[in-house]
Amino acid sequence: MSSKIADQIARKQARIAAKLQKQAEKLAAKQQNAILRAARKQEKIKEKEVIKAVVARERQKMKATFEKKIKKTYHKHEVQSESLKNIIQVARRTQEMYPEGFTTKQITQKYIELHGRKNPYTLEDVDDKYDLHAGIRGLMYETSPSSEQHWFRYGIQKVREQVAPWIFANKKLAIVNNQFGWKVSTPEMSVARRQNKGLWTYMIDGSHAFYDWSEEKYGPLPTEEVLTEAAKNRRIGVRGSKKILEQQLN
C-alpha cells in the first residue's frame, strides 16, 4: 500500500473519530441538560410545596385569629333579640301587604315606616350618612338560609351559635347559590342573581323548617359538606380592610 493511500485512510479514520467524538459530547451534554432540567423541576415542585404549606399555615392562623375575635365579640355583632323582634314585625306586616312575596325595597320601606331611621342591628338612631336600606338588606340576608351571607362572615363559615334564626326565604336566590355551590360571589354569580332576583317571603315556621324542609317551597338548602367545601380558599377579613390574608403574605 502506497503512502498516499495510507494517508487518505488515516485522514478518513481521523474524521470519523472526530465526528464520533462530537456526537458523544453532544449526547453527553444533552443528557446533562436533561438531568439539570429534571433537578430544577424538582426544586420548583419542592418550592411550590413549601409555599403552599406556608400559605396554608398562615391561612389557618388567620382563620383561628378571626374566629377567636368573632367569638369574643359575639354579643356585639350578632343579631340580637330586639333586632329580631323588629325585623319579624316588619316581615309579618310586609307579608300581609304582599302575600305572594315582596322585594327588598318594599321591606326596607316598611321597616323605616315602622321604626324610623334606626340601625337595624344596634337600634341606634342614624343620620343620612348611614345607608339604612343596605343595613336592613344585610339583616335580611343574615336571617335567610337562602343567602350566602347567612352562612359566612369575614370569609369564615359561621359556627352554630352565629347562624341567625330563619325569617326570610328567597327561592330563586337559593337556586342560584346552589348552582354555584354556595361559594364566594363571582361576576357570573352576580349576573345570575340580578337575572333571578325573585321575591322574598316570611318564613312563618322559622328555623323549625330545617326539620321538615320543603325545597319546592323555599328552594335548596346547603348541606354541611357543601358549606365546608364553599369555605375553602375564601379571603379572610373585613371587606376593604388591609388585614386580608393575601396582602399579609405579599
Which carries the bigger pLDDT value, residue 175 or residue 21?
A: 175
User: How far is 91 from 111, CA to CA, in rounded Å?
Assistant: 9
Is it the case that residue 243 has pLDDT exceeding 50?
A: no
> Which of 72, 103, 126 is the C-terminal boundary of a domain?
72
Which carries the bigger pLDDT value, residue 114 or residue 7?
A: 114
Type of residue numbered 18: A
Are both 155 and 82 inside the same structural domain?
A: yes
CA distances for 232 relative to 58, 182, 228, 236, angstroms: 14, 11, 7, 10
- With contact defined as beta carbons under 8 Å apart, do 158 and 152 qualify? yes
Are both 156 and 225 inside the same structural domain?
A: yes
Are both 123 and 225 inside the same structural domain?
A: yes
Q: Where are the alpha helices (DSSP H) in the chain?
A: 3-72, 74-77, 81-97, 104-115, 132-142, 171-179, 187-195, 215-218, 224-230, 245-249
Are both 136 and 164 inside the same structural domain?
A: yes
Q: Three cell numbers at 96?
A: 300581609
pLDDT band at 249 (very low <50, low <70, confident <90, very high): very low
Residue carrying the nine cell digits 333571578:
196
Sequence-ordered list of residues with C-beta below 8 angstroms from that of 105, at least 6 positions apart, any chain: 133
Q: Give the structural domain span for 97.
A: 78-249
- By DSSP bridging, strand 201-202 and strand 168-169 are antiparallel
**3-state SS, residue 43:** helix
pLDDT band at 51 (very low <50, low <70, confident <90, very high): confident
Are both 87 and 58 inside the same structural domain?
A: no
- By DSSP bridging, strand 156-157 and strand 168-169 are unpaired
Counting Cα atoms < 13 Å in the Cβ hemisphere of 132 gives 21
Report the predicted TM-score, pTM, of the whole model to 2 decimal places. Answer: 0.63
Looking at 18-32, 88-102, 163-177, which range is the least confident one? 18-32
Are both 210 and 89 inside the same structural domain?
A: yes
The predicted pLDDT at position 31 comes to 83
Dihedral-angle region of residue 240 (phi above 0 means left; psi in -120 to 50 means alpha; beta otherwise): left
154 phi and psi angles, rounded to 5 deg: 55, 30
Are both 48 and 152 inside the same structural domain?
A: no
- With contact defined as beta carbons under 8 Å apart, do 126 and 132 qualify? yes
Which class for 195: exposed (0-12), middle (13-18), buried (19 or more C-beta within 10 A)?
exposed
**3-state SS, residue 8:** helix
Looking at 51-60, 121-130, 191-200, 226-235, which range is the least confident one? 51-60
> Which of 20, 54, 72 is the C-terminal boundary of a domain?
72
Is it the case that residue 172 has pLDDT exceeding 80?
A: yes
Are both 124 and 224 inside the same structural domain?
A: yes
Q: Provide the mean pLDDT of the chain.
A: 82
> Which of 51, 72, 93 is the C-terminal boundary of a domain?
72
235 phi and psi angles, rounded to 5 deg: -70, 135
Are both 100 and 47 inside the same structural domain?
A: no
Looking at 59-68, 82-91, 98-107, which range is the least confident one? 59-68
pLDDT band at 216 (very low <50, low <70, confident <90, very high): very high
Mean pLDDT computed over 178-196: 86
Are both 5 and 29 inside the same structural domain?
A: yes
The predicted pLDDT at position 77 comes to 43
Are both 17 and 127 inside the same structural domain?
A: no
Mean pLDDT computed over 205-222: 93
Are both 127 and 34 inside the same structural domain?
A: no
Per the structure, the count of domains in the chain is 2
Which class for 192: exposed (0-12), middle (13-18), buried (19 or more C-beta within 10 A)?
middle
